[in-house]
Amino acid sequence: MKVGIHAVILLTLFLVSSCSRGDASGRLIGEWWLIQADFDTPDLDSGFVSAARHSLESSIFYFEQENRFEIEDTSSIGGSYQGTWEYTPEGKLILTYPNLPIDPEIYEVMKLSRKKLIIRQHMESVGILEYHLERRN
């Protein structure tokens, strides 16, 4: 009888842990400030990288429950970008911009907690971009 109870407990724990994708997806909802942008882009001009870093580190990401998002650039360049987001079971964050002629951006979620989000994008022609975001709400 004890073996049966232990099996039920283990199965329950397994099922609960396998549902963590929904919890992780829910943790994305809210307002995130991009506080640090790191680049491993050896072929890009350092002036361009510096300007991109300044613009990115002035960005606020808003993730909504309906899988919509907005990125607001609060730098002097300004601008706002909207689209849809998806969080996959493999830990990928996919941002799609239906009103822009660009491919979806695919990020590897390196860390996702209540207050911190670190995402990394591998771009073959450019290099690696890593963004550190902090929840402000």
Report the CATH number at residue 106: 2.40.128.280
In total, how many domains does the chain have? 1
pTM above 0.85, yes or no: no
Separation between Cα atoms, residue 61 and residue 99, nearest integer Å: 17
Whether 117 contacts 130, CB under 8 Å: no
pLDDT one-digit tens code per residue, 62-115: 999 999 999 999 887 778 999 999 999 999 999 999 999 999 999 999 999 999
The tens digit of pLDDT for each residue in 44-53 reads 999 999 988 9
Expressed as residue numbers, the domain containing 115 is 2-135
